[in-house]
């Protein structure tokens, strides 16, 4: 245990202003970013259990654990971290909420917090403190983590997705730069297939990769699950057009994508089976940090591009948001809030982002200036993903229905059915509408 005493920790970290905490002249934060006063004292003898998703980038896991150890040594609060796959965290969080027992903090996905808002600790004071100190929250982070005017979770950020591609294969397919529209992207994928490096996109129930590209392809053509009044409108001409496009894309895919989960496209890309996929920066990280010379060479040939613009004429991206939730059954809510504060402060958050080369895009404006985004041009496309993304449930309100629809993979299953030909686009859209209406009409 560190000689830095618990009482010294509390005294040093209770409500310091931004200038004092970060040092004057910081390149990351301006004098205007003054922190609101914030103070919370962990309960005596507090012990915390944290459930989060398994890492895809080793630097994420290692630095998160190191920061947790720093917190434990400074505060005297013992912290245990458990990790599960993305597909497993959501049901375990729902069970914990329903039975009133489980981890004190669960780092969930998408709008998990909106499935059981009354089971979560109000963290508005902490959210206001962090927002005041670090330039404010991106609007989508507030959407994911507030309910009826209260903050019910703290945004960790989002595992942003870009198109990850082999630069040499793109050029062999006849493109000098990555296409910026959906028509050009289809032509690229068709060209890649002829060159022996086909596309590969997850169409199984993959929480991250399948959801991000399937929502993008539907939204890019003007389709959406619901309208602004939460009326189910997925069975529309715009959705049919999106599914016809997805069917053409699927013809360029490597075999087996219907069963792919989140790790599969990483492996296929690094094995040299595919020339383009959608993913976080983890593929590049794995190649760049590998001891295998072939993968190191591959890293030089990897490019990243933001999702192309579809007929709607604007970005339509979904990214995997991570709400950090404290459950009311916790015996140590103050300790839990202090842990989240500590992990979101510059001294911990910036090195964590750097260690994972920006695998998680920040939810706070000030962290846009983290040097990790410009130290390597291949990182930069990931910088603004959370700032620009649309929320799940678009264009309606976030809540139980949007969360349940996402958890049931209705959008993904619709795209998979139409793309693979197991159903016509019209049949797939009709089935999706019927499934969604079960939740939106409750």
Instruction: State whether 116 and 219 are in the same domain.
Output: no
Q: In whole angstroms, what is the distance from residue 412 CA to residue 383 CA?
A: 26
Residue 335 lies in a domain: yes
Identify the burial level of 49 via C-beta atoms within 10 angstroms of its C-beta, where 0-12 means exposed, 13-18 middle and 19 or more buried.
Answer: middle
Residue 401 lies in a domain: no
The number of angstroms, rounded, from the C-alpha of 381 to the middle of its chain's C-alpha atoms is 15
Instruction: State whether 267 and 336 are in the same domain.
Output: no
Within 13 A of 305's CA, how many CA atoms are on the CB side?
19
Q: In whole angstroms, what is the distance from residue 128 CA to residue 107 CA?
A: 19
Q: Which CATH number covers residue 237? A: 3.40.190.10
Instruction: State whether 48 and 166 are in the same domain.
Output: no
Q: In whole angstroms, what is the distance from residue 122 CA to residue 156 CA?
A: 16
For 231, the domain range is: 162-318+408-440
Residue 424 lies in a domain: yes
> What does the pLDDT read at residue 36?
54
Residue 399 lies in a domain: no
Domain boundary among 345, 367, 382: 382
Instruction: State whether 56 and 40 are in the same domain.
Output: yes
Instruction: State whether 329 and 258 are in the same domain.
Output: no
- Cα dihedral 192/198/204/208 (nearest 10): -50
Instruction: Assess contact for 359 and 57: CB atoms under 8 A.
Output: yes
Residue 398 lies in a domain: no
Residue 388 lies in a domain: no
Structure tokens at 30: 């301006």
Strand pairing class (78-84; 47-53): parallel
> How does pLDDT run along the chain (442 residues), one tens digit per residue?
333 333 333 333 333 333 333 333 344 544 334 445 788 999 999 999 999 998 889 999 999 999 999 999 999 999 999 999 877 898 999 999 999 999 999 999 999 999 999 999 999 999 999 999 999 999 999 999 999 999 999 999 999 999 999 999 999 999 999 999 999 999 999 999 999 999 999 999 999 999 999 999 999 999 999 999 999 999 999 999 999 999 999 999 999 999 999 999 999 999 999 999 999 999 999 999 999 999 999 999 999 999 999 999 999 999 999 999 999 999 999 999 999 999 999 999 999 999 999 999 999 999 999 999 999 999 999 999 999 999 999 999 998 899 899 989 999 999 999 999 999 999 999 999 999 999 998 6
Contacts of 65 (CB under 8 A, 6+ apart): 81
Q: In whole angstroms, what is the distance from residue 10 CA to residue 40 CA?
A: 8
Instruction: State whether 192 and 264 are in the same domain.
Output: yes
Instruction: State whether 19 and 135 are in the same domain.
Output: yes
Strand partners, 325: 106
Give the 3-state secondary structure of residue 51. strand
Instruction: State whether 225 and 272 are in the same domain.
Output: yes
Instruction: State whether 230 and 336 are in the same domain.
Output: no
Number of domain units in the chain: 2
Q: In whole angstroms, what is the distance from residue 147 CA to residue 152 CA?
A: 7
Write down the pTM of the prediction: 0.88
In sign, the C-alpha dihedral spanning 272, 275, 281, 285 is positive
H or E segment and range at residue 105: strand 105-107
According to DSSP, residue 159 is labeled E
In sign, the C-alpha dihedral spanning 214, 218, 219, 225 is negative
Instruction: State whether 370 and 424 are in the same domain.
Output: no
Structure tokens at 356: 């994972």
Q: In whole angstroms, what is the distance from residue 157 CA to residue 108 CA?
A: 11
> What does the pLDDT read at residue 38?
86
Please name which of 165, 130, 102, 8 lies closest in space to residue 326, comparing C-alpha atoms.
102
> What does the pLDDT read at residue 56?
84
Instruction: State whether 34 and 103 are in the same domain.
Output: yes
Q: Where are the beta strands (DSSP E) in 126-254?
A: 146-147, 150-151, 154-159, 162-166
Residue 393 lies in a domain: no
Residue 392 lies in a domain: no
H or E segment and range at residue 440: helix 425-440
Widest distance between CA atoms in the chain:
67
The number of angstroms, rounded, from the C-alpha of 257 to the middle of its chain's C-alpha atoms is 21
Instruction: State whether 57 and 148 are in the same domain.
Output: yes
């Amino acid at each position: 245990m560190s000689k830095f005493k618990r009482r010294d920790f509390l005294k040093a970290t209770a409500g310091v202003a931004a200038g004092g905490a970060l040092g004057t002249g910081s390149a990351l934060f301006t004098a205007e970013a003054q922190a609101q006063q914030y103070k919370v004292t962990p309960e005596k003898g507090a012990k915390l259990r944290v459930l989060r998703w398994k890492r895809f980038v080793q630097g994420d896991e290692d630095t998160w654990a190191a920061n947790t150890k720093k917190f434990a040594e400074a505060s005297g609060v013992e912290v245990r971290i458990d990790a599960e796959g993305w597909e497993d965290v959501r049901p375990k969080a729902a069970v914990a909420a329903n039975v009133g027992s489980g981890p004190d903090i669960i780092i969930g996905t998408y709008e998990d917090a909106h499935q059981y808002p009354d089971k979560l600790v109000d963290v508005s004071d902490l959210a206001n403190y962090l927002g005041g100190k670090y330039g404010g929250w991106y609007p989508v982070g507030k959407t994911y983590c507030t309910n009826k005017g209260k903050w019910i979770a703290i945004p960790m950020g989002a595992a942003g997705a870009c198109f990850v591609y082999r630069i040499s294969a793109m050029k062999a397919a006849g493109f000098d730069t990555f296409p910026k529209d959906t028509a050009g992207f289809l032509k690229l994928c068709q060209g890649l297939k002829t060159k022996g490096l086909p596309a590969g996109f997850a169409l199984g129930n993959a929480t991250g990769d399948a959801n991000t590209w399937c929502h993008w392809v539907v939204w890019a053509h003007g389709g959406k699950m619901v309208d602004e009044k939460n009326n189910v409108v997925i069975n529309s001409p715009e959705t049919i057009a999106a599914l016809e496009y997805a069917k053409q894309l699927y013809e360029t895919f490597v075999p087996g994508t219907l069963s792919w989960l989140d790790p599969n496209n990483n492996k296929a890309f690094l094995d040299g089976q595919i020339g383009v996929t959608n993913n976080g920066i983890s593929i590049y990280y794995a190649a760049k940090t590998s001891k295998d010379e072939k993968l190191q060479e591959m890293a030089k040939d990897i490019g990243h591009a933001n999702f192309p613009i579809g007929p709607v004429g604007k970005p339509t991206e979904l990214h995997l948001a991570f709400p950090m939730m404290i459950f009311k059954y916790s015996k140590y809510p103050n300790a839990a809030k202090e842990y989240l504060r500590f992990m979101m402060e510059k001294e911990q958050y910036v090195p964590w982002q750097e260690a994972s080369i920006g695998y998680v895009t920040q939810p706070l404006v000030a962290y846009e200036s983290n040097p990790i985004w410009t130290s390597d041009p291949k990182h930069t496309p990931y910088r603004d993903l959370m700032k620009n993304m649309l929320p799940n449930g678009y264009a309606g309100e976030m809540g139980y229905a949007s969360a349940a629809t996402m958890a049931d993979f209705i959008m993904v299953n619709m795209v998979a059915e139409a793309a693979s030909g197991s159903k016509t686009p019209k049949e797939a859209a009709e089935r999706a509408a019927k499934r969604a209406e079960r939740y939106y009409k409750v």
